[in-house]
C-alpha cells in the first residue's frame, strides 16, 4: 500500500509542474499585455513653442496647471532691445497660446523667473530675481489676473544691496503669497548668503521677511516652501553646518513669521 502511494505521488508530479509552468506563462502574458496596453495609451497631445521677439534664447523654468486644464509656463527670454526678461505664457487645454507677458526690470539687465503658482480664480503668481536700481538682484514677485493683466509687482532687496534670488513660491487660501530663496548679507566676498522667506498679502504688501543664517555662518540657500491650511510656512534647502559641509535645513514658521523651533 505504501509503495502504491509513493507511485501515485510520483505520477502526479509532472502534472503539478505543468500547472505551475502554465500559471507562470499566463502571468507573464498578462503582464506583457498590460505593459503593451499602457504603452499604447501614451500619446503626445500637443507641443507648444514660444519664440521671443529677438529670436534669441528663451527658456522655461517652471510650470503650473489650473482646474480648467489651462497651462502656465514661466522663465526668461531675450527681449527686443533688452537683455533677459521674465516671460510668462498661458496656454489653454489644447495648447493654444492665450497670452504672453514679459517683465523687464528697472535697469534692463538679466531678469529670470524661477517659479510659478496659480490660485483657484486663475490669478498667476511668478517669482525670481531682477537687478534693481543701485542694487544687485532683488526678489521680484508679480501677480497677473486670469487675462494676463499685471496686478502688482513686489520687490525685496536684502540688507547687503547684493544678490537676492527667489526660487520657490506658494499661496494660502486667503490669497497671501510666500516666496523663499537666498539673500547675500554683503556685497563683497564672502557674500554669506542666508535663507530669506517673505510673506505678501493679496495686494502685494510685504507682511514679514525672515532670514536664517546657519550655524556655520556660510552660504545658505532655500530651494522650496509649502504652506498648510493654518498658514504655517515650511522651508527647506541647504545650510552650512558647524564643522560640517552643507546640511539639509528645514524650518517651520507660524503665520506671523515666528520660527517654531
Q: What sections of the chain are H helices per DSSP?
A: 2-41
Instruction: Calculate the CA 4 to chain-centre distance.
Output: 72
Claim to verify: residue 39 and residue 66 sit in the same structural domain = no
Considering only 101-105, 133-137, 195-199, which range has the smallest mean pLDDT? 133-137
Instruction: Calculate the CA 68 to chain-centre distance.
Output: 20
Assess if residue 131 is contained within a domain: yes
Cα–Cα distance between 85 and 78 in angstroms, integer?
6
Claim to verify: residue 38 and residue 142 sit in the same structural domain = no
Residues 6 or more apart whose Cβ sits within 8 Å of residue 212: 194, 195, 196, 197, 220, 222, 235, 239, 249, 251, 259
Claim to verify: residue 149 and residue 241 sit in the same structural domain = yes
Assess if residue 151 is contained within a domain: yes
Question: Of the candidates 220, 247, 72, 251, which has an alpha carbon nearest to the alpha carbon of residue 158?
Answer: 220
Query: At 156, which CATH number?
Result: 2.130.10.10
pLDDT given at position 36: 61
Assess if residue 94 is contained within a domain: yes
Claim to verify: residue 146 and residue 38 sit in the same structural domain = no
Q: Is the pLDDT of residue 98 over 90?
A: yes
Share of the chain above pLDDT 90, in %: 79
Claim to verify: residue 205 and residue 230 sit in the same structural domain = yes
Our CA angle for 124, 136, 192, nearest 5°, is 100
Domain of residue 133, residue span? 58-253
Claim to verify: residue 203 and residue 234 sit in the same structural domain = yes
Q: How confident is the model at residue 2 (pLDDT cuts 50, 70, 90)?
A: very low
pLDDT given at position 232: 98
Claim to verify: residue 242 and residue 163 sit in the same structural domain = yes
Assess if residue 133 is contained within a domain: yes
Burial class (CB in 10 A: 0-12, 13-18, 19+), 199: buried
- Over residues 39-51, the pLDDT tens digits come to 557 899 999 999 9
Share of the chain above pLDDT 70, in %: 89
Assess if residue 245 is contained within a domain: yes
- Over residues 112-142, the pLDDT tens digits come to 999 999 999 999 999 999 999 999 999 999 9
What's the rounded mean pLDDT across residues 70-75?
Answer: 99
pLDDT given at position 190: 83
Claim to verify: residue 113 and residue 5 sit in the same structural domain = no
Average pLDDT, the chain: 91
3-state secondary structure of 89: strand
The C-alpha cell 513653442 sits at 49
- Over residues 82-94, the pLDDT tens digits come to 999 999 999 999 9
Cis peptide before 171 (omega within 30 of 0): no
The pTM of the full predicted model, rounded to 2 decimals, is: 0.84
Claim to verify: residue 142 and residue 28 sit in the same structural domain = no
Q: How confident is the model at residue 189 (pLDDT cuts 50, 70, 90)?
A: confident
What's the rounded mean pLDDT across residues 49-59?
Answer: 98
3-state secondary structure of 36: helix
Q: How confident is the model at residue 35 (pLDDT cuts 50, 70, 90)?
A: low
Claim to verify: residue 129 and residue 205 sit in the same structural domain = yes
Claim to verify: residue 27 and residue 84 sit in the same structural domain = no
Assess if residue 258 is contained within a domain: no
Number of structural domains found in the chain:
2
pLDDT given at position 261: 83
Claim to verify: residue 118 and residue 202 sit in the same structural domain = yes
Assess if residue 83 is contained within a domain: yes
pLDDT given at position 10: 47
pLDDT given at position 31: 78
* DSSP class of 160: T
Assess if residue 50 is contained within a domain: no
The C-alpha cell 544691496 sits at 161
Cα–Cα distance between 181 and 167 in angstroms, integer?
5
Amino acid at each position: 500500500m505504501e509503495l502504491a502511494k509513493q507511485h501515485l505521488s510520483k505520477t502526479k508530479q509532472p502534472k503539478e509542474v505543468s500547472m505551475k509552468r502554465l500559471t507562470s506563462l499566463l502571468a507573464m502574458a498578462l503582464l506583457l499585455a498590460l505593459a503593451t496596453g499602457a504603452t499604447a495609451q501614451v500619446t503626445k497631445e500637443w507641443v507648444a513653442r514660444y519664440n521671443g521677439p529677438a529670436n534669441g534664447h528663451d527658456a522655461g523654468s517652471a510650470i503650473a496647471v489650473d482646474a480648467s486644464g489651462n497651462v502656465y509656463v514661466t522663465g526668461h527670454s531675450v527681449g527686443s532691445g533688452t537683455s533677459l526678461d521674465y516671460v510668462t505664457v498661458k496656454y489653454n487645454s489644447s495648447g493654444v497660446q492665450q497670452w504672453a507677458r514679459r517683465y523687464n526690470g528697472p535697469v534692463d539687465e538679466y531678469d529670470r523667473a524661477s517659479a510659478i503658482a496659480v490660485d483657484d480664480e486663475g490669478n498667476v503668481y511668478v517669482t525670481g530675481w531682477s537687478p534693481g536700481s543701485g542694487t544687485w538682484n532683488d526678489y521680484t514677485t508679480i501677480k497677473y489676473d486670469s487675462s494676463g493683466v499685471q496686478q502688482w509687482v513686489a520687490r525685496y532687496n536684502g540688507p547687503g544691496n547684493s544678490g537676492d534670488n527667489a526660487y520657490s513660491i506658494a499661496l494660502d487660501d486667503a490669497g497671501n503669497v510666500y516666496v523663499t530663496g537666498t539673500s547675500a548679507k554683503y556685497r563683497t566676498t564672502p557674500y554669506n548668503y542666508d535663507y530669506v522667506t517673505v510673506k505678501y498679502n493679496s495686494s502685494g504688501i510685504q507682511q514679514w521677511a525672515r532670514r536664517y543664517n546657519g550655524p556655520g555662518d556660510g552660504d545658505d540657500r532655500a530651494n522650496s516652501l509649502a504652506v498648510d491650511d493654518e498658514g504655517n510656512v515650511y522651508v527647506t534647502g541647504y545650510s552650512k553646518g558647524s564643522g560640517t559641509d552643507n546640511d539639509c535645513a528645514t524650518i517651520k514658521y507660524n503665520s506671523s513669521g515666528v520660527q517654531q523651533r
